[in-house]
Structure 1
Amino acid sequence: MAEMLTERAFFEKEVKKSRFLAYAAPVDSEEAALAFIHEISDVEARHNCWAWRIGQQYRFHDDGEPGGTAGRPILQVIEAQDIDRVAVVVTRWFGGIKLGAGGLVRAYGGTAAECLRLAPRAPIVARVRVGFHCPFSDLALVGARLPGLGAQVETETFDATGAAYVVVVPVEGAEDLIVRLADLTAGRVAARICEDVKG
């Protein structure tokens, strides 16, 4: 099962006098990944190499290192550890000794791998959206029970007769939520699954 980081992580090591510093962060969009890369990259360093993966989307960049020696090894580590929604930047300060292509692959990949290995993670739980309309007479009861049913309110829109809700719930709890809402309200709330949500 794919995992995601629950917070940022970093790891630093020295390889033949070159300093390598890896930072990893959870991201949920390409824009978030690029913003993190821009924030973490050190303009004083020789190279800021990176990779990110969100679902089937991914990008990597060697930032001046020989092609395939930095960004791709970072991405391969992300995939090997089955981590999704993550961006990793490995910054290198050159120490005067050339590492060669194999040495660079091992240094960038190894630093990224150790950073991700130490990072706090959580499994990605598949979720779905469930929509329903709740009359005013049941709003307080339903509102109080939703958190206990594992539902997270995404939208709540009031109209003349009550409120329309869209909630997000783990896939395995969706049918139970639909049944419980109907039971709680004596059938006045008829919920339905709207669409899949990733994680």
Structure 2
Amino acid sequence: MTKKILISTNTNEEAIKKSLFIGICFPITSDQNFFNKLTTYQDLNATHNCWAYRIGNEYRFNDDGEPSGTAGKPILAAIDGADFDAVGALVIRHYGGIKLGTGGLARAYGGTIAKNLKQADFEFHVPKSELRIEIGFQYSQILHQLLNQYDGISLDQNFNSSGVNNLVELPNDQIEDFTSSLNNHTKGSAEIILIES
């Protein structure tokens, strides 16, 4: 599935009932990378530093003293709702003296990040995998036609006595259809191995 990836760190501010909410969204490569950046961005003088991150199927969030479920979860929901991946989000709150209630807090935290991501620069990321494919010589041209059809590329090709050994890369959501088509064209003789990354 195609996801949006942040190009750079994006910051925005929201003043809500005298509290200042500062939203910071930043690209991440791992959970450790997230915590390193979080240490850099958080404001220890603020009332709360609430955060969430999503990287593939891995996610975490933290309410940092706000009532349970009113900060971290809405931040994560804003990330997921905007279709982003590999992103960390922090909302720094400077309390202004007026309580917002649980619904108001959830809207403030989630809304700050939703607005941030709406204005952030991003690019689309298509998850891909590599396949090792062994085919007979006669199917080499068909392989390349199918790679073009399914947005794949050939990374390496070696000829040997039994045929052609290929290393190819394909978008994950195309692998099943590509494999099925290649098996049909080669009458099931293609040896296809998914290389675990």
TM-score, normalising length: structure 1:
0.69
Q: How far is 1:190 from its partner?
A: 4.7
Matched, 1:192 2:167: yes
Match of 1:140 in 2: none
| Distance in 2 between residues matched to 1:196 and 1:173, nearest whole Å | 17
Moved over 4 A (4+): 187-190
Matched, 1:172 2:147: no
Specify the SS of the correspondent of 2:25.
Answer: strand
Q: C-alpha offsets along residues 46-105 of structure 1, whole Å, 9 cap, x if unaligned? A: 000000001110000000000000000000111111111000000000011111111101
**Number of residue pairs the alignment of both structures matches:** 151
Match of 1:12 in 2: 13
Matched, 1:41 2:16: no
Specify the SS of the correspondent of 1:37.
Answer: helix
What residue identity is the alignment partner of 1:63?
D
Q: How far is 1:37 from its partner?
A: 1.3
Specify the SS of the correspondent of 1:53.
Answer: strand
Specify the SS of the correspondent of 1:172.
Answer: coil
In the alignment, is the contact (CA less than 8 A) between 1:74 and 1:112 conserved in 2? yes
Residue ranges of structure 2 left out of the alignment (5+ in a row): 133-149, 169-193
Match of 2:186 in 1: none
Specify the SS of the correspondent of 2:8.
Answer: coil
Match of 1:155 in 2: none
Match of 1:70 in 2: 71
| Distance in 1 between residues matched to 2:42 and 2:3, nearest whole Å | 27
Q: C-alpha offsets along residues 10-63 of structure 1, whole Å, 9 cap, x if unaligned? A: 110100100000000110100011111111110000000000001110000000
Match of 2:116 in 1: 115
Please give the residue correspondences for 1:137-176 in structure 2 after superposition, counting only pairs within 5 Å.
Answer: 172-174=151-153
Q: C-alpha offsets along residues 89-146 of structure 1, whole Å, 9 cap, x if unaligned? A: 0000001111111110111011010011111111112223478xxxxxxxxxxxxxxx
Specify the SS of the correspondent of 1:34.
Answer: helix
Match of 1:30 in 2: 31
What residue identity is the alignment partner of 1:69?
T
In the alignment, is the contact (CA less than 8 A) between 1:18 and 1:93 conserved in 2? yes
Please give the residue correspondences for 1:126-141 in structure 2 after superposition, counting only pairs within 5 Å.
Answer: 126-129=127-130
In the alignment, is the contact (CA less than 8 A) between 1:127 and 1:196 conserved in 2? no
| Distance in 1 between residues matched to 2:63 and 2:43, nearest whole Å | 15
Matched, 1:52 2:53: yes
| Distance in 2 between residues matched to 1:52 and 1:126, nearest whole Å | 18
